[in-house]
Structure 1
Amino acid sequence: MQYDPIKRSLGQVFNINPYLRALFYSLLDLLLLRSWHIRRELRAWRKEAPVNASVLDAGSGFGQYVWRLAKMGRLFRITGVDVKEEQVADCNRYFERMGMGHRAHFRCEELETFNETERYDLVLSVDVMEHIEEDEKVMKNLCRSLKPGGTLLISTPSDQGGSDVHHHDHHEGASGFIDEHVRDGYNIDDISEKLLRAGFSSVEARYSYGKSGSLAWKLTMKFPILALNTTRLLFILLPFYYLLVYPLAYLLNHIDVRAHHKTGTGLIVKAIK
């Protein structure tokens, strides 16, 4: 199942007008459960962050988290890096157009060769590590880029079905819901050990996407994406679909963010240098 073509199609629709794109960012915040978890962690981080914090979004994609961080701190300096040149150029144009180019900049770079030293107070990595084969090398690079006491915040699938791959699937040769992943998900202890080996002094990892969150993800992401992969004409029906299902998904997201999960298909990991 290819997820990137759907993302590109959505980006093209909402790029028609700059304020439509701002609406797109807001919709992603509402719909994506991982965004709920990340916003919660960012609010906690902000309480102790420098007013002029330097932030790296490692795998910035559409730029939604750079937008969120720019709104959180007027003096924050934010760098977004991504491997896709067209996406980097698009984000730079958009943030310049919205008057944020002086404090939010994007560049094309591979995290495997990322080389900066003690520059950032926070590094954000949302749904990136599962796409990278040399993940420990990237973890070391990101650790080196942080100032002493800096924070790395990761959202990634767990090995409890995080790429929508279940134990019986491996016998069927299934690749999971999202083909672009190089691993099905992380074991919670394994990712903690990797980060400690990479040079972090402490690591906290917790499950996200418990039963409530997994159901919300199916309603807001899996089912619509599966439908859109059959025909793009269904874009027209999406607003009506979300009007029906979102009240339930909103409640399920609230439950997931506030609950302690013994297991889950996602991981939220905070590592301190």
Structure 2
Amino acid sequence: MDYDPVKDRLGAFFWKTPTRTKAFFRTLDAVFLRSWYVRRALREIIGASDRQRPFRVLDAGTGFGQYAYWLVKTFPHVEVLAVDVKQDYLDRARAFLDTTPYASRVTFEQRDLTEPMAEEDAFDLCLSVDVMEHIEDDRAVFRNFHRVLASGGHVIVNTPSDQGGSGVTEEGDESWIGEHVRDGYNAGELREKLETAGLEHVRTEYGYGPWGTVGWRLLVKWPIAALNTTWAAAPLLAPYYALAGPAGLALNRADLARDNASGTGLTVVSRKP
């Protein structure tokens, strides 16, 4: 299934007003379990920083811009450079941020993450959420992260794993998302690529374990698959989420509280020495 057309059509509806956009971001934060893991990691790293100077974040592959918005809304000392290859996404995210009190702390730029970045950028954190599975030359991206990170800076990579990420569970299966260039990362492979780029490993977490996988089906897979089949299903989403939403959110909470031995989602935190 090609996921981008569904995302683009949903975005076209929710970008019409700032109120709709905020509601859209809250929905994404709730239904996508990866956001729960990423926000916890961000709180742990940024919350531990007690310095007075701004904390600079590279939002690498910002997409709709929901993480850039969440960062500056949550942490008053954070500044974000949000980059993406899609200029239309950046334009819409910029227009939305300009309606908020946080506009001056977010810069949007069109960039290819595989192209060299200037070392003087000196970020404290590079964030990559649901991006690396779309990029063939991932090693170039990790080298760029190392180049632009300040000493002691962190990288957070969240991506599907090879334990069934992208819906691939057996040899010969095709990714549920047609835009993925890889079905998912092996944890050891991802660590090796980050370490080869000069980044030391801090921790690895599996998300979407037994509970989270069921929650993902309820909250994401089945609704998106229905929309991909026919947009006549759109009016049914509100009553569907009214029934399935509480159970799905409870499953997300249970997954976050669990130390998963494996899962279809992977969050790796690394650090520049």
Q: TM-score range by the shorter chain?
A: over 0.9
Q: Show the 5 A alignment for 1:1-273.
A: 1-49=1-49, 50-51=51-52, 52-117=54-119, 119-168=122-171, 170=172, 174-273=173-272
Output the CA distance in 2 between the equivalents of 1:160 and 1:186.
8
Rounded to whole Å, the distance in 2 between the matches of 1:136 and 1:187 is 15
Separation of aligned partners in 1, 2:132 and 2:163: 16
Give the secondary-structure state (helix, strand or coil) at the position aligned to 2:166. coil
TM-score by length of 2: 0.95
1:116 shift after superposition: 2.5
Would you say the 8 A contact 2:15–2:92 is kept in 1? no
Deviation at 1:201, TM superposition (A): 2.6
Q: Which moved more, 1:131-140 or 1:114-123?
A: 114-123
Structure 1 residue 19: Cα displacement: 1.2
Structure-1 separation of matches of 2:116 and 2:167: 30
Gaps spanning 5+ residues in structure 2: where? none
SS of aligned partner of 1:180 = coil
Q: CA RMSD in A?
A: 1.2
Contact persistence 1:139–1:195 (CA under 8 A): yes
Q: Distance in 2 between matches of 1:82 and 1:96?
A: 18
Segments of 4+ moved more than 3 angstroms: none
Partners of 1:103 and 1:47 lie apart in 2 by: 18
Q: Identity rate of aligned residues, in percent?
A: 41
2:160 is aligned with what amino acid? P
Secondary structure, counterpart of 2:26 in structure 1: helix
126-135 or 98-107, which deviates more: 98-107
For residue 216 of structure 1, give the secondary structure of its aligned residue in structure 2: helix
Write the letter of the residue equivalent to 1:131.
Answer: H
In the aligned structure 2, how far is the partner of 1:92 from the partner of 1:107? 10
Give the superposition deviation at 1:75: 2.7
The letter of the residue matching 1:141 is N
CA deviation after TM superposition for structure 1 residue 175, in Å: 2.1
Alignment size in residue pairs? 269
Contact 1:201 1:271 in 2 (8 A): yes
Shift of 1:128: 0.6
- Whether the 8 Å CA contact 1:33–1:217 is kept in 2: the answer is yes
- Indicate if the aligned counterparts of 1:143 and 1:199 stay in contact, CA closer than 8 A: yes
